[in-house]
Structure 1
């Protein structure tokens, strides 16, 4: 693969699904780790593939801003209808994040752990009930973290299908299969469905407060002012979608890696104390968030390459997490890897709000599954989503014997 072919793979959604993306990043890390790109259909940007550079940009939120381009999108894409935490910069980002930050700190999550473990057990119980081949992603790994985040938000079980469809519409827009699943005659009508739903949820929590995030946001204030409706909607949207999709990708991708590396599965079953390290390796291995974008607020340089004010840089997290200068044998799946400074959750001001929750959910699932797993094998080909932003496995057919 030439450097030019590698660069073009970064803007090809199919490359994320067929293995070309990883090969492309390896080529760019070796030859042009800071590469200026002007691909057809996209605004120009600099692609960053080295761990050191991605980490440095993330730690400099004043020099590299999330606005106005926080993600890689096509030049003709419609603007996002609401702003979210991932598109904000300080001081707004700091103030808005503080509204729910306490909910996602380890101390608060410990009180929620028993419920998470109960939901993990329910997910593994559902696996035990399957007698033939089934698709692990839509039937198990999507459902378990969706139930967790909806419980925290205060979304009833009957409405969780709508949240799943919202996620597929948001993160699956480059994949023909998800496009078909979420196709609507009028996109504005779909947006209004989302607006009306969460508007009613806010009204209900204002009248009848409960101990959930919906109540917290409904009554929340920034600088002494209640949140405007579209800021509330953006908050609900990012928590409801990113709050489960990335964890689903980690769990499914982690299970797939264990199936493909049976020696690692045997090692983990023999020593369950390795689960926390294994989960970190699964997160590195899958890296569900593929990239974010930042815009230089002043003239600067990266690796000697000038980055003029106003130019965008693309932070490629899967590439950073396979950087040979940081990880020993980065293309080896090692459930005991004890030096694992992956950047899957980002760094700095935009460090993932739900990182501790995601780790808790994945640990709870595998700690429940491993003692009960008698046998597991593929029942078809695993398939990755076509994406330019967020994603992982969309299909993982398996046969499993679970006690």
Structure 2
């Protein structure tokens, strides 16, 4: 079944404020899953696309990466944004298709394999304790997002890259401006040109990092990227900077969104908090449920390379599809009681990390960070409640909570 009209439900995909209002978002997605799981979205200022809302269809499209390619339109932006990104030539992993994607992905793959994660875990656990200690020292009340959740994974990924701690704050600002460019609190400015300055400044910063690491290689991920070679040739300047860009931004923002959204869910579901504290062996399952519940990456786009059919709907070569991960992760055909936060949910076949060849490179690191943080926090957490209204980022791509005021008691 399809709807080739821009009805009100389908408009949520291009409305950043919808992702800041989860009740409105999920009401629209539930309607689309039931009545128009493959729906045509044609609204002003955007190139049209098909919205894919069922878990099975998202998985099938992700698997068929030759039929549905990431290029030329890997994420949802306005028509002006599509043109601007094409002109700038940004080529992160999410912009690439095989065989180039496979070769470039391999540059950083070893840094995220289980052996590397085991070596990194000691430092991640240390940082988790430092940030929970900071919560204790704040006197029982804080904005958990701004004061804790954004900083813990930021420190992890910046340390892995080899970025000096004095620049961590700058990287956080850049990331929030890029992913929050539709949010009036986080965006750089009102115009597309002003918002693009964060990207240009990141390019300049990482070009300097490249020059430094090529002149003086070090034992960090930035050096591995700067000195990588594909088919005997070094990466182009744009591909090198693009690699830093995806690691330095998505490498922490998505994890911080999950940590903060997970804590909100526990605060609002005290029975699940008690269950998890009484049965800490459930934590790996709880981590997956937090990831499903939050789904920090809201969408990726794919473009059909030939005429095809999805759920009986003809899709023409050259037409784009939007993969709605929040919808897939609430699909009633896959998840029992999908709107219930269940720390023991098993199985949990969420699609928050994507699927297939573009499965998230940093998934193991994200899982480890979330696990380490809650392994430290939960045994020390005596009470927690919301101290104000949570606020979500207005976005159509990556986001989660931007404010989570909480009141709590922690043991030493």
* Interval of TM-score (by shorter of Structure 1 and Structure 2): over 0.9
Gaps of 5+ in 1: none
Aligned to 2:19: 16
| Alignment equivalent of 2:84, drawn from 79, 82, 95 | 79
1: distance between equivalents of 2:188 and 2:218?
Answer: 37
Residues 1:65 and 2:63 aligned together: no
Task: Give the SS at the match of 1:111.
Answer: helix
- Residues 1:366 and 2:369 aligned together: no
* Residue aligning to 1:258: 266
1:114 partnered with 2:122? yes
Question: Structure 1 length normalisation: TM-score?
Answer: 0.97
Correspondent of 1:215 among 181, 201, 223 = 223
| Match runs of 1:338-357 below 5 Å | 338-357=346-365
Q: State the match for 1:237 in structure 2.
A: 245
Between the aligned partners of 1:393 and 1:342, the Cα distance in structure 2 is: 20
Report the Cα offset of residue 134 of structure 1.
1.5
Give yes or no for the alignment of 1:25 onto 2:22.
no
Displacement after TM superposition at 1:335 (Å): 0.2
**Which stretches in structure 2 are left out of the alignment for 5+ residues?**
none
Q: Following TM superposition, by how much is the alpha carbon of 1:196 offset from its aligned partner in structure 2, in angstroms?
A: 2.8
Give the structure 2 partner of residue 129 of structure 1: 137
Alignment of 1:218-367 (within 5 A): 218-367=226-375
Quote the Cα distance in structure 2 between the aligned partners of 1:21 and 1:103: 36
Q: Using the alignment, how far apart are the partners of 1:182 and 1:397 within structure 2?
A: 28
Distance in 2 of aligned mates of 1:182 and 1:202: 31
Contact 1:168 1:182 in 2 (8 A): no
Q: Secondary structure in 1 aligned to 2:16?
A: coil
Cα RMSD of the aligned pairs, angstroms, is 1.7
Distance 1:202 1:182 in 2: 31
TM-score (norm 2): 0.94
Equivalence for 2:179: 171
Deviates more, 1:55-64 or 1:221-230: 221-230
Q: Give the stretch that moved more between structures: 319-328 or 372-381.
A: 372-381
CA contact (8 A) 2:40 2:51 kept: yes
Number of aligned residue pairs:
402
